[in-house]
């Protein structure tokens, strides 16, 4: 008995020493508001890693672009200014068209299709990120994308000249093709942009409109279900390679749970936030058939353009996705 106690004490001491020796803190910049489901998922992921490693690795999230703004997060991680972080994948479409696979209008319009499209695209995206000094951990879709305005809109003609907030190359192109005037603005800054009239419309999820209380400036949300873009969490490759295998295993496990939980939350948040927009006084409902048909025509143009820009690897993603239907 005494022997066992001594042994246990020795083991505890070794564990403590090991913990003390490698105890590390990773700051994790995130671009979206603290209340958003992606940020909630990231916070749970961070807690899972911290608990799972007995504090040997503590991850601390910084939502709302408070540590690095959305547009700066990827570079910050590539260069090692931050070890880990989350960003909108299609935000990098200007670097490489492949990053925009999830923002091709009407290619994947439901959560189920979005999951299949991700399965088709993941190996290519993982390789691309790896070539940029980044390790992919997990990715979670936003709810389906619809259109926000401050007036009733029933056709593309009604959009002409409207100032449109974009968040990636595809959304800016959508504005051009509908005769609107694109201006790129981070989600963290849209409430102000709408309040001051810098922008008066956008394509986004009910989630982002709800998070940013856009009913204070806008009046209509049209459900279009045009696509479901993804956020992803990445780690600096050098930092990853320098991490103990036992810690890496915990991170991978927590990342896998985060991906499932994030998907669950995204679906749940879809209805919740559309009701939230209604409660804020907005008119929420499907876009008219005429408008949807016009948008689908524009979608065809954008699909062709994306396939051209994304080359053989882009086509392979679409083919793999279609083969899953
Ligand atoms: N919200 C993010 C990207 C897609 C979405 O639903 C945004 O509007 O910036």
Structural domain boundaries in the chain = 2-142+231-271, 146-226+282-323
**C-alpha of residue 26 to centroid of ligand 1, in Å:** 25
Q: Which CATH architecture has domain 2-142+231-271?
A: 3-Layer(aba) Sandwich (3.40)
- pLDDT of amino acid 308: 98
DSSP 212-229: TTGGGT--EEEE------
For the whole model, what pTM was predicted?
0.93
Nearest residue (by CA) to ligand 1, atom 8, is 204
Under CATH, what is the fold of the domain 146-226+282-323? D-Maltodextrin-Binding Protein; domain 2 (3.40.190)
Question: Is the CB of residue 93 less than 8 Å from the CB of residue 171?
Answer: no
Q: Is the CB of 90 within 6 Å of ligand 1?
A: no
Q: Is the CB of 208 within 6 Å of ligand 1?
A: yes
**C-alpha of residue 209 to centroid of ligand 1, in Å:** 9
**C-alpha of residue 191 to centroid of ligand 1, in Å:** 13
Taking only the tens place, the pLDDT of each residue in 59-117 is 999 999 999 999 999 999 999 999 999 999 999 999 999 999 999 999 999 999 999 99
Which DSSP category does 186 fall into?
A: -
2-142+231-271 and 146-226+282-323 share one fold = yes
Question: Is the CB of residue 284 less than 8 Å from the CB of residue 149?
Answer: no
Q: How many CB atoms lie within 10 A of CB 55?
A: 14
- pLDDT of amino acid 19: 46
Q: Is the CB of 266 within 6 Å of ligand 1?
A: no
- pLDDT of amino acid 165: 98
**C-alpha of residue 212 to centroid of ligand 1, in Å:** 11
> What average pLDDT does the chain have?
94
Q: CB-side exposure of 287: number of CA atoms within 13 Å?
A: 24
Low-confidence ranges of the chain (pLDDT < 50): 1-2, 4, 6-8, 10-20
């Amino acid at each position: 008995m005494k022997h066992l106690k001594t042994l246990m004490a020795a083991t505890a001491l070794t564990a403590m020493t090991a913990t003390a020796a490698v105890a590390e803190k990773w700051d994790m910049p995130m671009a979206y508001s603290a209340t958003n489901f992606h940020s909630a998922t990231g916070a749970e992921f961070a807690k899972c890693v911290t608990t799972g490693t007995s504090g040997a690795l503590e991850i601390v999230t910084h939502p709302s672009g408070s540590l690095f703004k959305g547009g700066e997060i990827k570079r910050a991680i590539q260069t090692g200014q931050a070890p880990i972080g989350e960003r909108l994948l299609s935000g990098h479409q200007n670097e490489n068209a492949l990053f925009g696979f999830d923002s091709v209008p009407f290619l994947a319009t439901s959560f189920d299709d979005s999951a299949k499209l991700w399965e088709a695209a993941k190996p290519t995206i993982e390789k691309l990120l790896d070539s940029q000094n980044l390790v992919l951990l997990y990715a979670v879709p936003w709810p389906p994308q619809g259109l926000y305005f401050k007036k009733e809109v029933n056709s593309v003609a009604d959009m002409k000249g409207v100032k449109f907030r974009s968040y990636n190359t595809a959304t800016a192109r959508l504005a051009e093709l509908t005769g609107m005037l694109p201006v790129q603005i981070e989600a963290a800054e849209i409430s102000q942009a709408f309040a001051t009239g810098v922008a008066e419309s956008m394509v986004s999820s009910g989630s982002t409109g709800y998070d940013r209380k856009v009913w204070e400036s806008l009046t209509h949300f049209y459900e279009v279900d045009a696509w479901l873009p993804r956020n992803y969490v990445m780690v600096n490759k050098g930092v990853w390679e320098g991490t103990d295998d036992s810690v890496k295993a915990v991170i991978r496990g927590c990342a896998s749970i985060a991906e499932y939980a994030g998907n669950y939350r995204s679906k749940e948040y879809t209805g919740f936030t559309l009701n939230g927009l209604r409660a804020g006084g907005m008119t929420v409902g499907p876009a008219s058939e005429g408008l949807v048909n016009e948008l689908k025509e524009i979608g065809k143009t954008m699909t062709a353009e994306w396939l051209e820009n994304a080359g053989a690897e882009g086509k392979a993603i679409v083919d793999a996705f279609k083969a899953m239907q």
